[in-house]
């Protein structure tokens, strides 16, 4: 099994910051329960009117299943032009460049 990172990016007109938190808290709680997800970073760029997320999954199968599900959910919510890319993680090089040690501990057994 290979740890997999998924990157979502899409046009977004707001809300931003605290208002985004308030309006998306239920979604965040649902995402946290997804099988195979280790964490998600929520991204927002008000200046460029874009948002997205960086997700780390235990393996590519979990990432692929989630990406398909979440893209359909986003389309149903009215979002368009959703870009999704997935990447495998090179744990050895990530250690050298000071990746979060706790994150690496969580994925190293999966990577080995």
pLDDT in tens, 56-91: 998 999 999 999 999 999 999 999 999 999 998 887
Name the pTM for this structure: 0.85
What is residue 36's three-state secondary structure?
A: coil
Task: Return the residue matching tokens 């997800």.
Answer: 37
Cα distance between residue 105 and residue 112, in whole Å: 11
Q: What is the mean pLDDT of the chain?
A: 89
Structural domains of the chain, with CATH: 4-111 (3.30.70.100)
* pLDDT reported for residue 111: 45
- Strands in 4-11's sheet, in edge-to-edge order, are 37-45, 50-57, 4-11, 83-88
The full 3-state SS of 55-107, as one line of letters, equals EEECCHHHHHHHHHHHHHHHHHCCCCCCEEEEEECCHHHHHHCCCCHHHHHHH
**Considering only 38-47, 72-81, 90-99, which range has the smallest mean pLDDT?**
90-99
* pLDDT reported for residue 112: 43
């Amino acid at each position: 099994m290979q740890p997999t990172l998924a990157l979502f990016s899409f046009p977004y007109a707001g809300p931003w910051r605290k208002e985004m938190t308030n309006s998306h808290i239920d979604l965040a709680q649902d995402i946290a329960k997804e099988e195979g997800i280790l964490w998600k970073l929520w991204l927002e760029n008000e200046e460029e009117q874009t948002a997205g997320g960086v997700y780390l999954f235990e393996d590519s199968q979990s990432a692929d299943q989630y990406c398909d599900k979440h893209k359909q959910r986003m389309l149903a919510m009215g979002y368009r032009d959703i870009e999704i890319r997935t990447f495998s993680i090179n744990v050895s090089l990530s250690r050298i460049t000071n990746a979060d040690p706790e994150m690496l501990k969580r994925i190293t057994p999966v990577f080995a």
